[in-house]
A = this chain, B = another copy of it.
Amino acid sequence: MNDDLLKRYLRHNQYFPDEILTRIVAQFKPVVVKKNTILLAKDEIANKIYFVNEGCLRTYYLTEQGHEKTRFIAIEGQVAGSLNSFITGRPSSEFVATLEDAQLFYITRTRFYQLVKEFSEWERFYLKLLESAYSYQNKRIAEMVTLDAGSRYTLLIKENPEYIKRLSNKILASYLDITQETLSRLKSK
């Protein structure tokens, strides 16, 4: 698996001298996964975090009533995982699964935090990852609590039009926290 996209992603977020980047990227392992594979189940500890080279992942919760609620969708060039469990080492409250056949790179939790100690560049990369994960999540909360279904759908079309093409109505509805019926109605407008 070609690691160009991974290198570009890392360099886009933080400056790395060539030699250090090579040593860091060597800690990432490639893995090919079929569609709809669960990479991490609720209550497991997230010992890996994933970079999407090709395909699509999501993280989701299961409600007490058994409904799936999609928290995050990652496509090519993005990092995904149960970051909370990865940070804390505590059991995950969410699932991580592929939505399409996927080519991924993963790094283990142990290696990741060794790199944080070893390279100040990686510590700074991690800081930026946390900043952007926090911001993304905060934006999502703000949208979920302040916007109605129609406004959330309009925003999705504007910011992530590729989701509409790539994802099933079931996943899209769970991402927007609306029923599939409401989604169909919004799509037909």
Contacts and interface: CB of A to CB of B under 8 A. Distances in A.
| Main DSSP-derived SS at the A contact region | helix
Contacts of A127: 123, 126-127, 130
A146 B93 contact: yes
Contacts of A126: 127
Number of copies of this chain that the complex holds: 2
- A62, A87, A138, A177 interface centre (most CB from chain B within 10 Å): A138
A71 interface: yes
A38 B177 CA distance: 31
Given A69-B145, A94-B142, A142-B94, A134 B63 contact: no
Interface in A24-67: 61-64
A186 interface: no
B61 A145 contact: yes
A126 B147 CA distance: 31
Contacts of A120: 120
